[in-house]
Copies of this chain bind each other. A is one copy, B any other.
């Protein structure tokens, strides 16, 4: 509690863009986000007033950081569960808890737990021996390629491999990276269902969105998912709500889904503000960042409804060096589309790195999408 304002202090471990945007939301709630940042020039550290430098694997640093926080939460999923459990045992309100976040850290345990819960998932198995992937293909009568995933640490397409045959499979297993293998689902598209859950147990669900991926990186998010049947939308929301409850998530839970002819399947889980929810800043009545704060503080959840009939978020990836400056690009974009909402993360440009996003709200999905994609391209390529 901040004695001066009488309002709570939330600490976020990690100084990336999620913490940066959470700070913006915290300001509106009368708060100032406390950030544990690795470096003083991390995205959130550049804009927050209460920044502590430290690393998320250092229990002493976490313990010091948590002092005076009403709740501690995360910008990423890399904090060791042992540290989270230790702090919780010492009375720190730290969310999501170790028993929940492990399912966002460890894909094998996530798949096992989802299977237990009867959630729809692709066929899969853990990989321990060189022949496991080939055996899996044979056993289920699958055709190559299949998908191998690192059990831990993958994101934005990293840690995921399309394995084309037995030899490639054996090579991959030979690297020693702990893996799971799963069937390649014949997907129509990808969806995401975002919910927030409070310690009290209230769950709020956002409209289901379509996520468009390129080389394993999310490039666009369409809200609401165009042409999604009401039945499937409700099923996806209910699935996310059930998972949040079953896993005991506190804060946001993003459920990445495959939509196929046979229905929906869970792909990944994330327990923090998520790229598939950036559209909510302008596009929903309550942004995911405020919602996450409300959840970890056990405030009642905010309204999740759309603020416009069609909302599209497009990620801005760092382009090749050279060309006109980012500031000039911004000039051009603002001249070109005065209604595009820009979010830049204060990051140095590196090819392929997410350096910002653009959101467009409007009435017609086709127009809105074209504008968002064009705006992101302006910032990315300067033309």
A300 touches B47 (CB 8 A): no
A6 interface hit (Cβ, 8 Å): yes
For A346, A349, A356, the residue with the greatest tally of chain B CB atoms inside 10 Å of its CB is A346
A46 interface hit (Cβ, 8 Å): yes
A370 interface hit (Cβ, 8 Å): no
A353 interface hit (Cβ, 8 Å): no
A377 interface hit (Cβ, 8 Å): no
Tell me whether A348 and B294 are in contact in the complex, defined as CB-CB below 8 angstroms, given that A51-B49, A331-B300 are known contacts. Answer: no
Q: Which listed segment binds B: A21-29, A124-132, A236-244, A266-274?
A: A21-29
Nearest B-chain residue to A338, judged by Cβ = B303
A114-140 contacts to B, CB under 8 A, are: none
A351 interface hit (Cβ, 8 Å): no
Instruction: Report how far A327 CA is from B9 CA in the complex, Å.
Output: 11
A335 interface hit (Cβ, 8 Å): yes
A327 touches B28 (CB 8 A): no
Contact of A346 among B30, B45, B326 (CB under 8 A): B30
B27 touches A299 (CB 8 A): no
Residues of B within 8 A of A308 (CB): 307
Nearest B-chain residue to A283, judged by Cβ = B307
Contact of A348 among B4, B331, B341, B348 (CB under 8 A): B4
Instruction: Report how far A344 CA is from B8 CA in the complex, Å.
Output: 12
Tell me whether A334 and B285 are in contact in the complex, defined as CB-CB below 8 angstroms, given that A7-B344, A32-B46, A45-B49 are known contacts. Answer: no
B30 touches A23 (CB 8 A): no
B346 touches A5 (CB 8 A): yes
Instruction: Report how far A293 CA is from B5 CA in the complex, Å.
Output: 28
Contact of A338 among B302, B335, B345, B347 (CB under 8 A): B302
A285 touches B330 (CB 8 A): no
Residues of B within 8 A of A361 (CB): 285, 307
A20 interface hit (Cβ, 8 Å): yes
Residues of B within 8 A of A7 (CB): 326-327, 330, 344, 346
B300 touches A335 (CB 8 A): yes
A334 touches B5 (CB 8 A): no
A32 touches B47 (CB 8 A): yes
B5 touches A301 (CB 8 A): no
A343 interface hit (Cβ, 8 Å): yes
Contact of A300 among B8, B29, B32, B334 (CB under 8 A): B334
A5 touches B49 (CB 8 A): no
A365 interface hit (Cβ, 8 Å): no
Residues of B within 8 A of A29 (CB): 330, 342, 344
Instruction: Report how far A62 CA is from B301 CA in the complex, Å.
Output: 43
B47 touches A23 (CB 8 A): yes
Residues of B within 8 A of A345 (CB): 30
Nearest B-chain residue to A285, judged by Cβ = B339
A286 interface hit (Cβ, 8 Å): yes
Residues of B within 8 A of A57 (CB): none
Residues of B within 8 A of A299 (CB): 330-331, 334
Having A302-B339, A305-B339, one finds 18 other A-B pairs with CB under 8 Å, namely: A4-B41, A5-B346, A5-B347, A6-B326, A6-B349, A7-B330, A24-B24, A26-B47, A27-B47, A28-B342, A29-B344, A32-B46, A47-B48, A48-B49, A285-B341, A294-B334, A302-B338, A307-B361
A-B contact pairs, 8 of them (CB 8 A): A5-B46, A5-B347, A5-B348, A8-B327, A30-B346, A47-B48, A285-B341, A302-B338
The 10 A-B residue pairs with the shortest CB-CB distance in the complex, in nearest-first order: A30-B344, A303-B339, A300-B334, A300-B335, A303-B338, A32-B47, A6-B326, A27-B47, A28-B343, A24-B24
